[in-house]
Amino acid sequence: MPRQIQHPSHPQHPLTLCIHQYGDRSWFICDLCNKLCENVFCYYCYLCDFNIDITCEKFGEDNNYLFQYQRTEKEEDDDSDHAIQLPISLSDFSKEVITPFIIRNGGSIINVDDMTSVTMPATNLNFSMLFNYHKHPLSLTKADDDDNNGKNEMIKICDLCITPILSPPYYSCADCKYFVHLTCYFLPKTIRDDDPLHEYNPRRCQNHKLTLYGTSSKDICCKSTNGIAYCCQSCHVTIDVKCASLPAIIKHASHRNHKLIKREIRWQIRPCVVCDNSVYSQIAYYCSNVNCEDFWIHIGCAMLPPSIKHRWDKHPLLLTFDASIDHPNDFYCEACENEMHPKRGMYHCRECDQSFHTRCLTESGRHGNIKFGRQLEFGDLHPHPLTYNIVSLKYKCDRCGRVAYKERGFECANSNCNCALCEYCGLDYLYYERLL
For position 203, what pLDDT does the model report?
Answer: 45
Write down the pLDDT at residue 97: 94
Torsion of CA 224, 255, 92, 204, to 10 degrees: -40
Q: Which residues contact 30 (CB under 8 A, 6 or more apart)?
A: 37, 42, 51, 52, 53, 56
Each domain of the chain, given as residue ranges in start order, spans 4-68, 75-303, 307-360, 375-435
The percent of residues in the chain predicted with pLDDT above 90, rounded, is 24
Beta bridge partners of 218: 224
pLDDT at 53: 81
Cα-based torsion angle of the residue sequence 26, 29, 33, 38 in order, rounded to the nearest 10 degrees:
20
| 416 vs 431: CA distance, rounded Å | 27
Under-70 pLDDT residues of the chain: 1, 20-28, 34, 38-40, 46-49, 57-81, 111-114, 121-133, 144-153, 192-210, 212-219, 235, 265-268, 280-282, 433-436
Per the CB < 8 A criterion, the answer to whether 405 and 392 are in contact is yes
Q: How many whole angstroms separate alpha carbon 87 and alpha carbon 368?
A: 15
> Which pLDDT score, from 0 to 100, does residue 267 have?
54
Pick the closest to residue 108 from 51, 31, 167, 186 (CA basis): 186
255-265 and 282-287 strand pairing: antiparallel
Dihedral of the alpha carbons of 34, 39, 41, 47, in degrees to the nearest 10: 30
Residue 36 one-letter amino acid: L
Provide the 8-state DSSP code for 75. H
- Residue 137's pLDDT is what? 85
The confidence score (pLDDT) of residue 430 equals 84
DSSP E strand boundaries for 358-431: 375-376, 386-390, 408-412, 420-422
**pLDDT, position 24:** 41
